[in-house]
Structure 1
Amino acid sequence: MADRAQDALLAALAAALSLCLPVLDSSAAGELGPVWVLLVLGACAPLALRRRLPLTAAAASAGVVSIGVVLGQPQAGVVVALAAIGSAAYHREDRWPVLALGSAIWMLFNIVLAYEPLQPLDLLAVPGTAVAPVALGYALRLQKSRAEQLARLREAQVRQVWAEERAQLARDVHDVVGHHLSAIRMQAVGSRKALAGTEADAVLTTIATLSAEALQEIRRLLDDSEKPPDLEALVARLPGRIDVRGALPADLPRDVRHCAYRVVQEALTNVTRHSSAEEAEVRIADDEEHLVITVDDQGHGVPGPAGRGLRGMRERVESLGGSFAAGPREPRGWRVRARIPTRGGAR
């Protein structure tokens, strides 16, 4: 809609300039009449379609100029028509040969009708005048395409560096933290044998179990190739009634899927820890460009004193270019909402 408004405004400005500038020339003022005005407006109007129908806009504008030549108004809208041809070459760069040839034939036709007797110098103006707007439009398009390619290349390089750094961090965390957790578990298991049957046996069993689970969780978090657990499994582990509407699309980029799962996990964890709510609702919507996650509850709406969970969710979502909001809802309860772009992520 914004592009259409801009093109309509451009057509209006082109018409205003085309009508006003010749009026300032006293030598040409007497030649300006209703027919000239209609021809100028007719040549400018197609500019409103220059992005949606670039070839049609160029042909229509050029056609109006040729009608003006037949009617004895060869100067009406010529510059605007050339601009429309250049714009068509920009938006349809694959058709530039056709546009260049068509522009040359159109210019030759106009010159033959407008100038009698025809001079050789008049014909020399055809190639440059006809091909220049096509060449300019095509060159600008190539420049933009190359800039976009460079931007994509830089983004790919950044992602590659990020992936390498993350892989190095994963190895470091696995080696250091994993080693200590394994040592804790081995110590706990060994101590259980020595203290079997005592009160410490149960405590050591818990330590061994938790350290094993923590080690498994760290390994899973550091493994990009493994997807996070299903939402159904997460919901099944949590107390209370949780209504899930929608599901994570199967073709989500990996980082988006991880982020979405962590948002739902943290939001539901806050419900069970810090809210008096016995029910919660999770809604997942996908509009092909964004994944929208909403978690509502009917509790007292306090996310916890430290707020680290909310801060972590916000950082995860915003790191992917998304938006995050959390706060009380009327008449009571708490709402967490995340909107995550689904394009451009790592699959």
Structure 2
Amino acid sequence: MVRWRWRGPVAETALVAGVGLVALLGLAVQSRGVDTAAEWTALPVVLLSCAALFWRRSRPVPVGAVALAAVAAYGALLHQPGPVMLVFVVALYTLVDEGHLAVALGFGAASVLAFALADGYHADDGGGNGATLLHAGWLVAVIVGVTRNRRAYVAEARARELAAEQRKDEEARRRATEDRLRIARELHDALGHHLSLINVQASAALHRPDPDRSTQALTAIKQASKETLTELRATLTVLRREDDNAPAVTAPGLDRLYALVTAAGRSGLAIRTELAETRPLPPEADRAAYRIVQEALTNVTRHARAHTVAIRVRPEGDDVLVEVEDDGTGTPGPPGYGIRGMGERARALGGSLTAGRAPGGGFLVRARLPLRPAPVPVGAAAPHAGRGDAA
């Protein structure tokens, strides 16, 4: 239930003017003209009680007391209920609406008692006119109706508050999940690639105890470990930043593709790059493209038993396509964290990624990244199953 709360200076002025007009016209009609001293005395009582309604929201209890006194004075002067009752009904409504239910009940009971006494005083004249019952019925209707309305409003407000808290909790959980996945991807990418190269080079040095090859392997291990520490420090620097507005650490992009290919080539792979001219990539797309190529090369190094690898980057409409294809003969297996991370990176930008057997043999990773990324929620379905990755 939606409650209409009509408030403000204009609304209060219109209400007071309307109640005052009805009360004055009612007095004139009921008295058939304001002629007697009692009627002239009742006139300012009506006006003053109507004017008091200006402060009904800020001072509901005093205004209720003024309205009750006006009802009593009107009854004492004219010996009958009158249009001033409208003022009392509005004051009583405001008391209940503002949460002063006990005060409203007390004022209502006092007014009913006053009318009962007046009815009893005039019973000999006309046998009672039922004013007490009518008055009591009005008050019960006002109190019950406003109370139900207020309870519905409070329940609705509480429901909105709970829904807002739930949305806030869900948003916090979503952000925590995104942060956890982002941290996992960064650590996986920062460590997995270079550690895989170190492992390959160390294995080569152990199985082929040639001094020249050992020297080359140790040089490659030294370079890979240095790059590992550099990327790890950069990743930890980003994660430890307390100020979101602090200058960002430069993230790797396709401008570092040559160094990446050179490092991977030390393992004996023949790597061919085909880079078509494309307009500058958004920073997030540039980073994702680099990480996808890096992880694909890691998988080739560890699992593919490949001799050649082709890296292709080309524009296609509003997207950029990134492909890494090898001629390996590795046994397919379930995707691990690396392939999952590549897919998450692509989908986080509104793109897509597939990984599986290439048409001519080997393995193909193809990512489509929008040049105008549109982020989507994380946790979507995993990409196609393919060769087990570095994780």
TM-score, scaled to structure 1 = 0.52
Query: Are 2:184 and 1:175 aligned?
Result: yes
TM-score, scaled to structure 2 = 0.47
Query: Are 2:235 and 1:215 aligned?
Result: yes
- Indicate the SS of the match to 2:246: helix
Structure 1 position 182, deviation (Å): 1.7
1:81 is aligned to: 88
1:133 is aligned to: 142
1:299-344 CA deviation, whole Å, 9 max, x = no partner? xxxxxxx999xxxxxxxxxxxxxxxxxxxxxxxxxxxxxxxxxxxx
Q: Which 10-residue stretch deviates more, 5-14 or 37-46?
A: 5-14
1:16 is aligned to: 21
Structure 1: give runs of 5+ residues left out of the alignment.
221-227, 230-260, 270-305, 309-347
Distance (whole Å) between structure 2 residues aligned to residue 99 and residue 78 of structure 1: 14
1:90 is aligned to: 97
Distance (whole Å) between structure 2 residues aligned to residue 265 and residue 124 of structure 1: 73
Residues 105-144 of structure 1 mapped to structure 2, 5 A cutoff = 105-113=110-118, 116-117=122-123, 119=128, 121-144=130-153
Percent sequence identity over matched residues? 17
Query: Are 2:109 and 1:100 aligned?
Result: no
2:50 is aligned, of 34, 44, 51, to 44
Distance (whole Å) between structure 1 residues aligned to residue 50 and residue 155 of structure 2: 31
Structure 1 position 60, deviation (Å): 0.8
Amino acid at match of 2:191: S
- Indicate the SS of the match to 1:119: coil
Distance (whole Å) between structure 2 residues aligned to residue 141 and residue 46 of structure 1: 23
- Indicate the SS of the match to 1:71: helix
Q: Which 10-residue stretch deviates more, 209-218 or 40-49?
A: 209-218
Distance (whole Å) between structure 1 residues aligned to residue 239 and residue 139 of structure 2: 66
Structure 1 position 63, deviation (Å): 0.9
Distance (whole Å) between structure 1 residues aligned to residue 167 and residue 10 of structure 2: 36
CA contact (8 A) 1:88 1:137 kept: no
Distance (whole Å) between structure 2 residues aligned to residue 123 and residue 14 of structure 1: 22
Greater relative contact order, per chain length (Cα 8 Å cut-off, separation 6+): 2
Amino acid at match of 2:110: I
CA contact (8 A) 2:65 2:107 kept: no
Distance (whole Å) between structure 1 residues aligned to residue 148 and residue 197 of structure 2: 71
Structure 1 position 81, deviation (Å): 0.9
Query: Are 2:41 and 1:60 aligned?
Result: no
Structure 1 position 152, deviation (Å): 0.9
Amino acid at match of 1:30: G
Alpha-carbon distance change, 28 to 197 in structure 1, aligned in 2, over 3 angstroms: same
CA contact (8 A) 2:93 2:143 kept: yes
1:233-262 CA deviation, whole Å, 9 max, x = no partner? xxxxxxxxxxxxxxxxxxxxxxxxxxxx43
Query: Are 2:155 and 1:146 aligned?
Result: yes
CA contact (8 A) 2:68 2:107 kept: no
- Indicate the SS of the match to 1:125: helix
Amino acid at match of 2:67: S
1:106-155 CA deviation, whole Å, 9 max, x = no partner? 13313533671252844433532333222222222111110111001111
Distance (whole Å) between structure 2 residues aligned to residue 209 and residue 176 of structure 1: 16
1:279 is aligned to: none
Distance (whole Å) between structure 2 residues aligned to residue 50 and residue 42 of structure 1: 13
How many residues align? The count is 228
1:331 is aligned to: none
Query: Are 2:169 and 1:166 aligned?
Result: no
CA contact (8 A) 2:16 2:51 kept: yes
- Indicate the SS of the match to 2:51: helix
Alpha-carbon distance change, 125 to 10 in structure 1, aligned in 2, over 3 angstroms: closer
Residues 313-332 of structure 1 mapped to structure 2, 5 A cutoff = none
Query: Are 2:166 and 1:157 aligned?
Result: yes
Structure 2: give runs of 5+ residues left out of the alignment.
1-6, 202-213, 250-280, 284-391
Structure 1 position 197, deviation (Å): 12
Alpha-carbon distance change, 116 to 149 in structure 1, aligned in 2, over 3 angstroms: same
Q: CA RMSD in A?
A: 4.1
Structure 1 position 201, deviation (Å): 7.5
CA contact (8 A) 1:184 1:211 kept: no
